[in-house]
Structure 1
Amino acid sequence: EVSIHPLDKRLPIGVTYPDPSAIEAAVKLLLNAERPVIVAGGGAITANASNELTRLAERLGAAVSITWNGKGAISEDHELFIGAVGQTGTTCGNKITASADVVISVGCRFTDWSASSYAKGVSFSIPPGKLIHIDLDPREIGKTYPTEVGIVSDAKVALEAILALISEADAKKALAKRETFLADVQKAKADWIAQVSPRENSRETPFTSQRPLVALRKVLDRNGIVVVGSGNTQGSVKQSFPVYEPRTHLTSGSYSPMGWAVPAALGAKLACPDRQVVAIVGDGDFMMSLPEMGTAVMNGINVVFLVLNNSGYMSIRGGQRKFMGRHIASEFTHHSGNGQPYSADITASARAFGLEAWKVEKDEDLESSLKAALECGGPALVEVIVSRDAAGPFATGWWDFPSPAYYEKEQAGYAEMRAREQHL
């Protein structure tokens, strides 16, 4: 048990209500739309607006995409869910959202990562698409994209107001116009599943980054909480680990620092002692918080640490190759010069701290080790050896990573995408 200050003494009281005329304008746009998409950001979860967001999607026949921080705003087994947008979004999320004639953004800041550095037609096409932007912070409205209807409001209250103005008759008329759109949604979802399934279901070792996530999803409770580290792990979870409830996916987002997930998972378990909590991290990320294993044991905080070990900073390696055509100090290799990956014995380190720990190098041991860790009754660690070459998510969008003139191989593509950015 832990002692904390009473939260009601620390949290703000009251909500911001929307301008009724803005709500009316938003409803008119939504009812006339042929390809409506709701983009859920972290603000949708902060406002506890998931139920209203899902109801609006169902009433309108609108697809729902998410940002990093919006993961969990709608259950990912919902037929209208299309995945994430942005550089490591899904092909489905990017394609369908970019084709929208009306986008309603709920608590989304349109960062360069989620908006594919604003390259037109990759994640968003605004204009010609029209944007309804709901945000509590007026500075976000119109900051990155021109806004047709800006609604400064608590997200839950705004969505309730929109729902109240859409009658059953109006909803039926709107749905009748969207048969082609909804068929496109299901086709795009099937195409994405076909693309990602080989990595998710691969039995090769070292593992892909996706395979351990599929195994974890099978043994984790539906309301289990995952706390996700940075880099390739973060993107892989976004694409290949479905969550079904708000606040069951916690990630650093924004700056995305290494070293955040392990202590954050300890905090999540203290806040929700009756829920399963798993920290999913890469080896580089994990090593920055290794001493917290002692914290977990001394305080009896029963978190499972899933460490995807590819012996390096593979996300940084990818950025170095993109920027310079080479990499330095991002692969951990043995000093002998034979190119063999180097790694500390993470499993042995965990055991030395007093955790139950498993090292998984064979597919037949994957699910059983994760299940045992969740059921062991104490803090536990599962180290999974993953491939450097198959590490990380699919890069389905665009991120403006400047390519120097001397790296000619990347220059043509970079110039093309920069030109598309300028069309905004």
Structure 2
Amino acid sequence: MTMTRRMTVGQALIEFLAHQWTVDGEHRERTIAGTVGIFGHGNVAGVGQALAQLNATQPDLMPYHQARNEQAMVHQAVGYARMHRRRGTLAAAASVGPGAANMITGAALATSNRMPALLLPSDTFATRVSDPVLQQLEHPHDPGIQVTDAFRPVSRFFDRVQRPEQLFSIALGAMRVLTDPAETGAATIALPEDVQAEAFDVPLEFLQDREWRIRRPLPESAPLARAVAAIRSARRPIIVAGGGVLYSGAEDDLRALVEQTGIPVATSQAGGGALKWDHPQYLGGVGATGTSAANRLTAEADVVIGIGTRYSDFTTASRTAFQHPDVRFVNVNVAAFDAYKHGTQLPVIADARETIVALREALSDWHVDAAYARTAAEEKARWDTVVDDAFAPSGRSLPGQAEIIGAVQSASAPRDVIVQAAGSLPGDLHKLWRVRDALGYHVEYAFSCMGYEIAGGLGAKRGLLADGDDRDVIVMVGDGSYLMLSTELLTAVAEGIKIIVVLIQNHGFASIGHLSETVGSERFGTKYRAYDPETANFQGDQVLPVDLAMNARSYGLDVIEVEPTSDAIADLSAALAAAKASDRSTFIHVNSDPLLYAPDGEGWWDVPVAETAELASTLRARSEYDTQVTAQRPLLGAMTDEQA
């Protein structure tokens, strides 16, 4: 006879989640380490009641974290998952209608970044007994469509619990996706408000500890042999390391491989930390925001070994990075979808670490040509000098962003984590930040979501604390992104979680302002200025009287304002030292000149320019675009040696 407990759907789901464990080799941790929730009509009597009940009876079983914005809840889950190499995450619970809708951006971010996050949006009555209820959508042609249906295209898993008995298969399905390296992303379980509170008999086996073992598939012998043959035949190979290297814990094995073979390495945004910045084979970031060292060698590479990268347009410089006429791609990825990109005929569908170990053995007697190794070393040395110069304080009262990054770099400890997401900072950090730890660089750039930084940084710090790791998390954010979503600063204060926020004030959208210039749109709509009735735009000189330092102070943070003087960089360094010495969250406000750009890394990004225009600036930009776009290549895959 099956033993059961009488429980509500909400109670059963939350207790089920509390007993899920991820196992990766010898490592075992909670898959869902806690629930971040905002309660309202739809979940206060379901998931909310379940969390309250556990808090009263077993407070450590499913920790609850209060939040201020539903989108930010998902960002916290992603930041947490990044620090845990995708082996653990958080659940995010929201109410019906707008509460649920606010999480959609977060879901898209998680899925784009291949990061696990469990979303529990509430839904309207399954019985429809009270239709239309508050916050319900009504579609005459399809009464069943609700806000939660918008999660379908942005989730890796979606289902709706319309009957209590469905919970078992749905919950297990969501966990399968969350713990699958090839499939992970946002897993969304829509919960109608009446079903959440409905009681049913729950088998006790559903509530027992369950382990989900991370798959680390070995490379098949034939694809591996073809990949090895291609590498051995290469004269100018290069490795493009992506996030998959870090998620499989392969950074030490990667270092051993490149030291053995001499193959140089460039990284995507997600791959930052795969090698330390000063490693002889590390050339820095690659692509549109990459370094000249990485981009020059990538342009001439005859074999590109992509490990754990999804080859975004920034990584490929919009398919202009790889210029060798016979370039071939050895793509190592746990997901076949990514392994087959660029039409490669050399995919290796396997775990990054397992494949790197196999490559080390197969290439034990092989090394790149000495002349090629010297070229790589020379380009690295040249770029390192460029960065040194960019970091040097200029004495300007409004320093450039590169100087600010340099000050943050010098004040940070080797294991500190830098967190960023959108604007001009990701590009500058990709080129300039000197990563010294595998987990030290977290730039969300798959979705490049403005507003991610503070919430993601909080999630990252929460994830580190869960492992007993007290390293500092430094969030760098521009004023535009800060204004999008800063409210989780209060969450940090409420829980006494320390993060350091460096806000760069440039009174507008610095990145898009620069991009606007390059496409001939003259920075239109990118400045934070008072509206000018005569010109009917915001392009004047009257800066808005915003005081973001005061805003941060109102959240309860310690605030340090760096005044715009010739000593601004020295004062910023002192502010960071004080912030690191404190046990409280600190907000550092520094003004910058958005027209002072970081060094050019010789990458390009495809942003189409208007084909016809009356603005002379647009016509000039179109002419330049027509020149640049000629370097794009279809990358349909070169022939293998056997076919040639």
Superposition TM-score, scaled by structure 1 size: 0.91
CA distance in 1, matches of 2:493, 2:623: 53
Equivalent positions of 1:93-172 (< 5 A) are 93-119=294-320, 123-125=321-323, 127-143=325-341, 145-167=342-364, 170-171=365-366
Q: CA deviation at 1:307?
A: 0.8
**After the TM superposition, which of the residue ranges 299-308 and 133-142 deviates more from structure 2?**
133-142
Structure 1 unaligned spans of 5+: none
The alpha-carbon distance between structure 1 residues 184 and 99, as it changes in their structure 2 partners (threshold 3 A), is: same
Look up the match of 1:371. Answer: 577
Q: Deviations over 1:100-135 (max 9, x none)?
A: 12211101111111101112xxx2236412211101
Look up the match of 2:413. Answer: 221
Q: CA deviation at 1:343?
A: 5.4
Letter of the 1:277 partner, please give it: V
CA distance in 2, matches of 1:278, 1:30: 39
Q: CA deviation at 1:148?
A: 4.2
Look up the match of 2:607. Answer: 401
Q: CA deviation at 1:194?
A: 3.9
Letter of the 1:24 partner, please give it: A
**After the TM superposition, which of the residue ranges 413-422 and 310-319 deviates more from structure 2?**
413-422
The alpha-carbon distance between structure 1 residues 151 and 422, as it changes in their structure 2 partners (threshold 3 A), is: closer
3-state secondary structure, aligned to 1:308: strand
3-state secondary structure, aligned to 1:272: helix
Look up the match of 2:130. Answer: none
CA distance in 1, matches of 2:455, 2:244: 23
Instruction: Report if the CA contact (8 A) 1:262-1:279 is conserved.
Output: yes
Letter of the 2:574 partner, please give it: S
Structure 2 unaligned spans of 5+: 1-14, 23-29, 32-178, 180-211, 533-538, 636-644
CA distance in 2, matches of 1:96, 1:202: 30
* Equivalent of 1:40 in 241, 265, 273: 241
Look up the match of 1:309. Answer: 505
Equivalent positions of 1:11-410 (< 5 A) are 11=179, 12-13=212-213, 14-119=215-320, 123-125=321-323, 127-143=325-341, 145-167=342-364, 170-171=365-366, 174-175=367-368, 178-203=369-394, 204-273=396-465, 274-334=470-530, 339-342=541-544, 344-360=546-562, 361=564, 362-391=568-597, 394=600, 396-405=602-611, 406=613, 407-410=618-621
Instruction: Report if the CA contact (8 A) 1:106-1:134 is conserved.
Output: yes
**Superposition CA RMSD, Å:** 2.1
Look up the match of 1:413. Answer: 624
Letter of the 1:180 partner, please give it: A
Letter of the 2:371 partner, please give it: T
Q: CA deviation at 1:418?
A: 2.3
**After the TM superposition, which of the residue ranges 393-402 and 134-143 deviates more from structure 2?**
393-402
3-state secondary structure, aligned to 1:118: coil
Q: Deviations over 1:202-225 (max 9, x none)?
A: 322311111122112222121111
Letter of the 1:158 partner, please give it: T
Q: CA deviation at 1:290?
A: 2.1
Q: CA deviation at 1:31?
A: 2.8
Q: CA deviation at 1:65?
A: 0.2
Q: Deviations over 1:129-186 (max 9, x none)?
A: 221110111122332x23242100011111111112233xx13xx34xx211111112
Identity rate of aligned residues, in percent?
A: 25
Instruction: Report if the CA contact (8 A) 1:266-1:303 is conserved.
Output: yes
**Bigger RCO (CA 8 Å, 6+ sep):** 1
Q: Deviations over 1:389-415 (max 9, x none)?
A: 115563621111111122221223212
**After the TM superposition, which of the residue ranges 245-254 and 298-307 deviates more from structure 2?**
245-254
Q: Deviations over 1:254-293 (max 9, x none)?
A: 1201001101111111111311111111111112222222
Look up the match of 2:88. Answer: none
Q: Deviations over 1:340-399 (max 9, x none)?
A: 433521222222221111111323212111110111110111111111211556362111
Q: CA deviation at 1:247?
A: 2.0
Instruction: Report if the CA contact (8 A) 2:319-2:634 is conserved.
Output: no
CA distance in 1, matches of 2:337, 2:583: 47
CA distance in 2, matches of 1:52, 1:98: 26
Q: CA deviation at 1:419?
A: 2.5
Letter of the 1:350 partner, please give it: A
CA distance in 2, matches of 1:147, 1:127: 14
Instruction: Report if the CA contact (8 A) 2:386-2:599 is conserved.
Output: no
The alpha-carbon distance between structure 1 residues 343 and 166, as it changes in their structure 2 partners (threshold 3 A), is: farther
Instruction: Report if the CA contact (8 A) 1:200-1:208 is conserved.
Output: no
**After the TM superposition, which of the residue ranges 203-212 and 29-38 deviates more from structure 2?**
29-38
Aligned residues: 412
The alpha-carbon distance between structure 1 residues 363 and 15, as it changes in their structure 2 partners (threshold 3 A), is: closer
Superposition TM-score, scaled by structure 2 size: 0.61
The alpha-carbon distance between structure 1 residues 226 and 328, as it changes in their structure 2 partners (threshold 3 A), is: same
3-state secondary structure, aligned to 1:357: strand
Give the structure with higher Rg (CA). 2
Q: CA deviation at 1:197?
A: 3.6
CA distance in 1, matches of 2:392, 2:314: 27
Letter of the 1:201 partner, please give it: A
